[in-house]
Amino acid sequence: MAPVSERPIPGVIRQLRPSDLLRFRDHLLRLDPSSRHDRFNGGIGDAFVAAYAERSFARGTTVIGYLEGDEVRGAAEIHECAGHDEPTAEIAFSVEPQLQGRGIGALLFERLLAHARAMGYRHLRVTTHPGNDRMRRLARKFQARLSFQAGEAVGVIALDPLPPVAETRGEPWWPLRMLGFGRGAPVASTRAIGR
């Protein structure tokens, strides 16, 4: 059998829609006690997790999901932190235990950075406990500056400001690049809809 890190990743990564709330909630509820502890920095019960998922969606948190079939199996969250001089968000990650160590966390992180930058965030903070090696390795991989305060490991990632529109004219926006649109290609699909 292939080592865990080389097993295929059959699912898709996409931003979750409002109608995905229950899928997101069920994903968080499926985390085993140790992953749940790492994710929320403490031992918490199902009622808290369910309320947390609802609150996140109600507040417009951006959640990027890793989905296999109809189930969310991994998530990366962007929570805005108000009151900072520059746009700042707290980010968080979760991958279900049986899928950890295959690179899904890294893929979610990469996608989250693109979303966060497109939203104009300049600073991202990720908080975990100092013993969470996976998260620390993941954060380092994406150049997070890690510091330790009061029993917490806090990683800070600085993002470049968005370039003025004039500098990017003709460059397709990154999701369009993923759809195969290249420089100079039409920005919208020409497929007729509903006619």
Ligand X SMILES: CC(C)(COP(=O)(O)OP(=O)(O)OC[C@H]1O[C@@H](n2cnc3c(N)ncnc32)[C@H](O)[C@@H]1OP(=O)(O)O)[C@@H](O)C(=O)NCCC(=O)NCCS
Residues near ligand X (CB under 6 A), total: 22
Among 35, 44, 54, 154, binds ligand X (CB under 6 A): 35
d(CA 88, CA 144): 14
Nearest Cα residue to 103 out of 115, 92, 95: 95
Minimal distance, residue 127 CB to ligand X, in Å: 7
Minimal distance, residue 21 CB to ligand X, in Å: 20
Query: Which listed range, 13-21, 55-63, 98-106, 163-171, lies at the site for ligand X (CB under 6 A)?
Result: 98-106
Minimal distance, residue 129 CB to ligand X, in Å: 8
Among residue numbers 124 through 143, which ones bind ligand X (CB under 6 A)? 128, 132-135, 137-138, 141
Of 78 and 138, the one with the shorter C-beta distance to ligand X is 138
Of 110 and 162, the one with the shorter C-beta distance to ligand X is 110
x-marked contacts with ligand X along 43-82 as a string, rule CB under 6 A: ----------------------------------------
Residues that bind ligand X (CB under 6 A): 35, 38-39, 92-95, 100-106, 128, 132-135, 137-138, 141
